């Protein structure tokens, strides 16, 4: 033994240190790898700030601008970031305390655990903090997209209600003109006036909904609640990601932070087993429990993979269904518009009643609303699919 510079216990300590550092290094390396194909990256902080400032200054809001503002100003996200920083500080304190324990001073399992498990836990905490921030950013991005599309939908709905009111007012003018020349009865005017009143009421409801949606948008973005935005209602997502279900599932399993968290639990459990094996015995109660913990952690990884697989499949099928529904509603709207046009022509030639015109207008308005809702649902389905992929 005199020919060797270290004792067996010293070699064990060096091996455990190398193992802890290696796994920690792999964790940080995995955290800094390039984005998987098809992944939408969150823009760097300086780019986010520039986009957010530009949107706020111009009061012109796009989907990208809404996300950028939320990522810089959302209060819940700011809380998560601050909590992560505090946790990182505590992890550094834990790591520093563990380093003060010299390897050649370890003579008990408890001391070994204080050194190696604490170091591994500190490394894991720092990594998990980063993952928590990324997860919170992903949720914030999803939330920003949802409130943005709610606002766009409410804005478009107001425009639809204005169009419906304009049609009703035009019909009232036609009915009055026909009444004056004696080709229509007073009841036709009363019916069209009722249609105008209904359109005015629907517009008032839509305008109230718009104001509520605007305040919810501003609240989530973390800006003044009274901020008014100029939004292009034609700026909508119209194409689904070109991924098969299998490709989407594989991508999600690579990118979702839940998998990384579960795998980190396996790594920590394995560190505990290694420490017990080197400084005690796996045949002890502690050793048996530690090995069971490893198996439980591995089962948790498999369970999480199944959950994510089902989430991806559900989002994938919902997206396809939403796309087909939007396409169907577009055709239904076109059909209703043509029916309204033809009935108006018949009415002008005395071949259709006022009631038929009103019913045709109501059907057109209904189909316009259903198409707008289908388009909103499709946009949100695209957003949800992107989120379950871990983007």
Q: Report CA-CA distances (Å) from 296 to 23, 163, 192, 261, 262.
A: 20, 61, 70, 14, 10
Residue 5 has pLDDT above 70, yes or no: no
With pLDDT > 70 as the criterion, what percentage of the chain qualifies?
86
**Which H/E stretch holds residue 334?**
helix 285-348
Q: Categorize the per-residue pLDDT at 23 as very low, low, confident or very high, splitting at 50, 70 and 90.
A: very low
Angle at which helices 285-348 and 257-279 pack, to 10 degrees? 180
Q: What distance in Å separates the CA atoms of residue 277 and residue 355, rounded to the nearest whole number?
A: 87
User: Residue 35: what pLDDT?
Assistant: 31
Alpha carbon distance 117, 94 (integer Å): 10
For the chain, list the domains and their CATH numbers: 8-388 (1.20.1600.10)
Contact (CB, 8 A) for 391 and 255 = yes
Residues of the chain by 3-state class (helix, strand, coil), percent to 5: 80, 0, 20
On whether the CB atoms of residues 137 and 77 are closer than 8 A, the answer is: yes
Average pLDDT over residues 119-130: 86
The per-residue pLDDT for range 252-284, each reduced to its tens digit, is 999 998 999 999 999 999 989 998 898 888 899
Q: What pLDDT, on the 0 to 100 scale, is given for residue 93?
A: 87
What 3-state class would DSSP assign to 44? Answer: coil
Write out pLDDT tens, residues 314-369: 999 999 999 999 999 999 999 999 999 999 899 888 888 888 988 999 899 999 99
Per-residue confidence band for 44, with pLDDT thresholds at 50, 70 and 90: low
- Lowest pLDDT segment from 27-36, 67-76, 121-130, 228-237: 27-36
Residue 168 near residue 380 (C-beta atoms within 8 A): no
Q: How many residues appear in the chain?
A: 391
- Kindly report, residue by residue over 309-322, the tens digit of the pLDDT: 999 999 999 999 99
Please, which pLDDT band fits residue 39 given cuts at 50, 70 and 90?
Answer: very low
Q: What pLDDT sits at residue 96? A: 86
Query: What is the pTM for the complete model shown?
Result: 0.73
- Confidence at residue 15, expressed as pLDDT on a 0 to 100 scale: 43
pLDDT digits (tens, 9 = 90+) for 52-109: 888 888 899 998 999 999 999 999 999 999 999 999 999 888 888 888 888 777 777 8
**At 60, is the secondary structure helix, strand, or coil?**
strand
Q: What percent of the chain has pLDDT over 90?
A: 50
Region 180-189 average pLDDT = 82
pLDDT over 70 (residue 239): no
Whole-number pLDDT of residue 236: 56
Q: What average pLDDT score do residues 30-52 get?
A: 52
Which pLDDT score, from 0 to 100, does residue 49 have?
80
pLDDT in the model for residue 46? 66
| Closest to 312 in 3D by CA, of 243, 239, 263, 238 | 243
**Average pLDDT for residues 203-209, to the nearest whole number?**
96
pLDDT of residue 45: 63
Considering only CA atoms, which of 135, 133, 134, 128 is closest in space to residue 28?
128
Nearest alpha-carbon partner for 256 in 87, 88, 138, 143: 138
Q: What is the average pLDDT score of the chain?
A: 84
């Amino acid at each position: 033994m005199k020919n060797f510079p270290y004792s067996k216990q010293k070699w064990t300590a060096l091996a455990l240190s190398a193992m802890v550092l290696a796994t920690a290094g792999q964790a940080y390396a995995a955290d800094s790898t390039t984005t998987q194909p098809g992944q939408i990256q969150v823009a760097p902080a300086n780019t986010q700030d520039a986009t957010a400032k530009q949107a706020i200054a111009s009061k012109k809001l796009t989907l990208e601008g809404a996300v950028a503002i939320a990522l810089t100003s959302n209060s819940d996200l700011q809380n998560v970031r601050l909590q992560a920083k505090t946790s990182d500080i505590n992890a550094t304190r834990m790591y520093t305390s563990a380093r003060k324990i010299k390897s050649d001073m370890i003579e008990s399992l408890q001391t070994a655990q204080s050194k190696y498990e604490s170091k591994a836990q500190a490394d894991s905490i720092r990594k998990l903090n980063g993952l928590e921030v990324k997860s919170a950013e992903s949720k914030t991005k999803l939330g920003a997209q949802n409130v943005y599309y709610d606002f766009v939908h409410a804005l478009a709905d107001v425009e639809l209600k204005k169009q419906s009111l304009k049609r009703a007012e035009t019909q009232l003018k036609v009915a009055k003109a026909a009444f004056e020349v004696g080709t229509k009865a007073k009841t036709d005017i009363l019916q069209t006036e009722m249609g105008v009143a209904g359109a005015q009421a629907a517009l008032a409801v839509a305008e109230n909904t718009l104001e509520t949606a605007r305040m919810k948008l501003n609240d989530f973005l973390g800006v003044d609640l009274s901020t008014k935005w100029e939004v292009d209602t034609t700026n909508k997502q119209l194409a689904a990601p070109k991924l098969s279900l299998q490709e989407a599932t594989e991508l999600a399993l690579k990118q979702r932070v839940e998998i990384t968290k579960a795998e980190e639990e396996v790594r920590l459990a394995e560190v505990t087993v290694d420490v017990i094996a080197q400084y005690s015995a796996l045949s002890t109660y502690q050793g048996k429990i530690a090995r069971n913990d490893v198996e439980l952690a591995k089962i948790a990884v498999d369970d999480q993979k199944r959950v994510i697989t089902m989430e991806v499949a559900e989002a994938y099928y919902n997206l396809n269904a939403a796309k087909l529904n939007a396409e169907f509603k577009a055709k239904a709207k076109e059909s209703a518009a043509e029916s309204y046009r033809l009935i108006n022509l018949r009415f002008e030639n005395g071949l259709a009643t006022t009631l038929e015109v009103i019913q045709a207008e109501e059907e057109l308005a209904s189909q316009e609303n259903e198409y707008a809702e289908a388009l909103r649902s499709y946009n949100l389905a695209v957003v949800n699919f992107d989120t379950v992929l871990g983007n």
